């Protein structure tokens, strides 16, 4: 899945996502958001990430310090889900290979 990245000023980001510019600066200082390298007072981020951050902070009332933990857990969950999809695909390939290369033995362990 390809991420859609935008460049947005702090002011526009604050207006669009209901954050203050001070919140945005703190998120940048904490490493939760990334500054745009070529535009002053602007972010270069995925809109869904900014929206998620704002939602966690406002709707759930999470402190800025706890946001890092929640986002790290979410990232790890996504990695585990990707690994699970890969393993399922490997199992499916193996099952297809085994079915196509000879009869499967039904072994019951009793």
Q: Which two tokens stand for residue 38?
A: 């070529």
Structure tokens at 56: 């966690």
- Tokens found for residue 105: 């033995």
Q: How confident is the model at residue 2 (pLDDT cuts 50, 70, 90)?
A: low
> What does the pLDDT average to over 12-36?
93
CB-based contacts of 19: which residues, under 8 Å, 6+ apart?
13, 27, 54, 57, 58
For residue 52, pLDDT beyond 80: yes
Judge whether residue 93 has pLDDT over 90: no
The pLDDT value recorded for residue 81 is 96
Report pTM: 0.68
Contact indicator for 28, 43 with CB cutoff of 8 Å: yes
6 phi/psi in degrees, rounded to 5: -125, 160
pLDDT at 29: 92
Mean pLDDT of 52-64: 88
CB 75 within 8 Å of CB 32: no
């Amino acid at each position: 899945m390809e991420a859609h990245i935008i460049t947005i000023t702090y002011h526009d980001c604050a207006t669009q996502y209901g954050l203050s510019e001070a919140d945005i600066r703190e998120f940048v200082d904490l490493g939760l958001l990334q500054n745009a390298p070529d535009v002053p007072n602007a972010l270069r981020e995925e809109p869904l990430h900014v929206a998620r951050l704002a939602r966690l902070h406002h709707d759930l009332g999470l402190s800025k310090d706890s946001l890092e933990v929640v986002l790290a857990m979410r990232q790890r969950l996504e990695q585990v889900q990707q690994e699970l999809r890969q393993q399922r695909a490997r199992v499916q390939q193996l099952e297809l290979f085994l079915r196509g290369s000879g009869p499967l033995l039904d072994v019951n362990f009793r």
